[in-house]
Chains A and B, each alone.
Chain A
C-alpha cells in the first residue's frame, strides 16, 4: 500500500470518518476547512497518529502548515521524513 492510500485509511480509521473510503478522498483534497473538513481538534489526533503509524514527528508549526495542506503534501512530508 502506498503512503497516500495508507494515510487515507489512517484518517478514516483514527478520525472516525465513517462514511468515507480511501477511494472517496482525492489526493489534492484539503485536510482542513473545505475538502475533508477537519478542524483543530482533528489536528491534535492527526499529529499523534502520524507518529504512531509512520514514525514521523511533526514538531515545527511552519513545517506543519505546509504538510497539512492536502493528502498529497502530507504524504510527501511523511515519505521525506521517514525515508
Chain B
C-alpha cells in the first residue's frame, strides 16, 4: 500500500506520506504492468491488499480515521472489508497511474465534464486556481489541465526518499507541471501570486494542511471538526483568480471522469485572519463531503484530518 502524495511530514502526529512499500515491491508491480498489463497487476494487488488489510498496523492506522468517520464504529469483519476495499481502490489508482506512464496515455481514457466552462473561466485572464483533493486519481485531473493551453504549476511537497513514481517518471518524460514547494519562503506565496498575475494555472490540494497550522480554519467534515487550509482563498481574494473545484473518479477498468464541482469566487472579504474565508471554505468542504458519501472508496486522504 502506498500513501498518497503531497504529504506533510511535519503534519499532525508525525504523519508521513511516504510509500509503505519497498522499491522491490513497487518493481514487481511495474514488471507485471509491462508484461501482463493492468489486469496482471490488479491480480497481485488483491493478494497484497488482503495482506495489508489483515496484518499491516500502518495500513490499519492510516485507514482508521476516515473509515470511522465515514462508516462509524464497525465490527471486525465489516471494518476489515472496508479497509480491504479502500486499499484495493487506492492500489488500482496507483497502478493506473503507472500504467499510463509505462504503456502510454492511450491506455486510459479521461472524460471531463465542465472542461469548456473551465476554459472560459481561465480566459478571464485573472489566473485560475484549480483545487483538487485526494480522491480518485488527481494526476488524471492534471492531464486534463493540459488542454487549457496554459502553463500549470502545482503546490506540492514530495518527501525525500519516496520511491513511488509518477506517470511521467515511468514514461521518462519531463514533468508536465512546475512544482512550487510549500516549505519554501512564506509557503511559496511570492511564486503563487506571480503565477496568477501571469494568468496561468495554479493547482492546489484543498484537503490537506501543508504549511502553517495558523493558516487553517476548522469546520465539520463527516461529522467532526477538521482543519482545512485557507491559503488558496487568500490568493483568490487578493488576485481575483477564481477557484475551480475539480474531482476525479474511476468509472471503469481503464477510464476516469473529471467533474467541475464548484466555481468559488472569493469577493467581499474584510478583516484579518483565516476565519474570514470560512464561507468559501464551506462550499469546498460540502462538495468534498458529498463526494465522500457518494464514492466512499475513492477518498484517499490517509492523513489524520480530524482534530480528535
Interface residues of A (CB under 8 A from B): 15-17, 32, 39-41, 43-45, 47-48, 51, 57-61, 64-65, 68
Contact = CB atoms under 8 A, between A and B. Distances in A.
A16 B238 CA distance: 14
Given A45-B234, A45-B238, A61 B184 contact: yes
Nearest to A67: B190
Nearest to A52: B238
Contact of A40 (B186, B237, B270, B272): B186
B10 interface: no
B272 A43 contact: no
Interface residues of B, number: 27
B11 to A, nearest CB: 16
Interface of B: 184-194, 197, 211-212, 214-215, 230-231, 234-235, 237-239, 270-272, 274
Query: A-B pairs with the 10 shortest C-beta distances?
Result: A43-B189, A40-B187, A43-B186, A64-B190, A40-B186, A48-B238, A47-B193, A41-B234, A16-B272, A44-B189
Contacts of B194: 47, 57-59
Nearest to A64: B190
5 contacts: A16-B272, A41-B274, A47-B194, A51-B197, A58-B194
Contacts of A61: 184-185, 188, 190-191
Contacts of A15: 272
Contacts of B231: 40-41, 44
Contact of A59 (B185, B190, B215): B190
B18 to A, nearest CB: 25
Nearest to A48: B238
A68 B186 contact: yes
B193 A32 contact: no
A68 B230 CA distance: 22
Contacts of B189: 40, 43-44, 47
A65 B188 CA distance: 11
Interface centre among B189, B231, B239 (most CB of A within 10 A): B189
Nearest to A68: B186
B172 to A, nearest CB: 29
Contact of A64 (B185, B197, B212, B235): B185
